[in-house]
Chain A
Amino acid sequence: MVKASPPPAAAGERDLRLDLFRGVALWLIFLDHIPENIANWFTIRNYGFSDATEIFIFISGYTAAFVYGRAMRERGFVLSSARILRRAWQIYVAHIFLFTIFMAEIAYVAATFNNPLYAEEMNILDFLKQPDVTIFQALLLKFKPVNMDVLPLYIVLLLLFPPALFLLLRQPNLALAGSAVVYAFAWKLDWNLPAYPNGVWFFNPFAWQLLFVFGAWCALGGAHRLAGVLRSHIVLAIAIVYLVFAFAITLTWHFESLDRFVPGWLADWMYPIDKTNLDVLRFTHFLALAAVTVRFVPRDWPGLKAPVLQPAIRCGQHSLEIFCLGVFLAFAGQFIIAQSSGGPLLQTAVSVLGILLMIATANLISWYKSIEGRSSSSRVKTPDADLAGGEA
């Protein structure tokens, strides 16, 4: 997460905490994407305002600046921009691949599911009647099935990243202020991208860019500048108080009888807590979480080398592949649970098996990359995003 040590340009070595927490975030996103799942009681969205998406986007901004910032300094704007856009393209292809799997699942359900109780809900399959429009809208990133909103957000953030990075390298504070202004305008003027067949993007890129740019700002020396603030006991106390407050509020969501303890004026002011536009309450909750985490998990924390954390770190290091796999496994897991009308036992089994598959795949990718890296060692080694100990 936020680093309290010298800026990466000097440190050079990758902060394993980023991989660790991104890996954990990927697991949590997987669990949250299975709607009927007893295991998603463990995910952080049940204990506060923000959830794994915030962690994922922040760390993605951080690593993007870490990897491409160095490239931009060393090789110039054009080449680094080209690499950023290539990354955006890879993510786009991954997204379309997932969409294809989703279509196959939908088509299967359409062919087999016929329950008169759900005649209205089955209208969701209407789009199969006009695949020309639907597929085209999906290619334009306007039609996004449930749980497929994160990658399009990531694509848009990367497309806009080259100029942002350019400014971040020269006037980091100005860039961060500009990002905050865009965020404010998105709220004030209802900026968002249109979706198909109706409405707007579930993750508003104009709002969520703030977290991405903030991550990048931290990577490019901002965390170093914040180190003093993060060492303050007052900041720690405020962060902990806020986390406890958020936890208390989320408790009232799960136990309705507690609802009456939330005063009316507070509810009026607080609700709805808007995920689409990255509500300030969510953003500050993430900041508080990050501040506390950085405090208790320093960069050189010996635990980062512990074998038990290596699976999460591995997953975090191959985030795109593992994210896509997670989305697919969530589809598949939900499908299995639905087919067998599964109870808590099956849900737990599917959750554990899914995470094990994610870990196995991450290990496989690491192994393959290390083999490939050795055989091509004669070549001049370019600092590639994929080999920088992880990805942007």
Chain B
Amino acid sequence: MEPVISIKNLVNRFGSQIVHDGLCLDIRRDEILGLVGGSGSGKSVLMRSILGLQKPTSGSITVLGQQIEYHKPGPSRCWGVLFQGGALLSGLTVQQNVELPIALYSDMPLETRHELASLKLLMTGLSLSVADKYPSELSGGMRKRVSLARALALEPKILFLDEPTAGLDPIAATEFDELIRYLHDNLDLTIMMITHDVDSLFGICDRIAVLVDGGVVVGTQDEVLDSDHPWIKSYFGVPRAQRARRAMRRPANEQ
């Protein structure tokens, strides 16, 4: 099957620092790909390159068959992005934030637009009482949900999530993971997410991509865990990763 996102020989260099060195990665349809890597390994740079927000030194990226060019409109109808801080427009209410992309890309009447936006808010588990609030009046978790609702507003095929559970308490983080899984199962979404939360990594990701040495090691959870690379070994060797993994294994074995 044709990959949804295809990255070929991506090179990103800042001065003498080489972040990506001939990186190749395919993201398949309907998978949840978890992207991990140490600080400065270029996770955000990779995502920004895919989104056309960053000019790669060389290499090519295609999303849904369309070549991505720096600061040119990409397939923005087909992707949704959840930025780390939410990146909601602070001058607009929650409702207006979600309605904005719908208003930009369609000519539907006000009422339908409003209903669709409300629907997206409900889908992300928000109550409509937040609709008239401003982003600054919301908690961090709610802001992420609103941002997710906005990302879903145009029925995207691909969803990019940048550390979706960072800054959330364990209960909210677990709920958010479940929400992502739920949306993925119901909406034919391909999801690429940067995360350092080992629970969500093992909990909801179909494949894991680890950025090391300017390249990428990608595979299913077991394949990545069997890797001999020292950084990967130490990343998944720390106690919290082990615990998360054991916690995920248990229910699987019981079935």
Are A and B genuine complex partners?
no
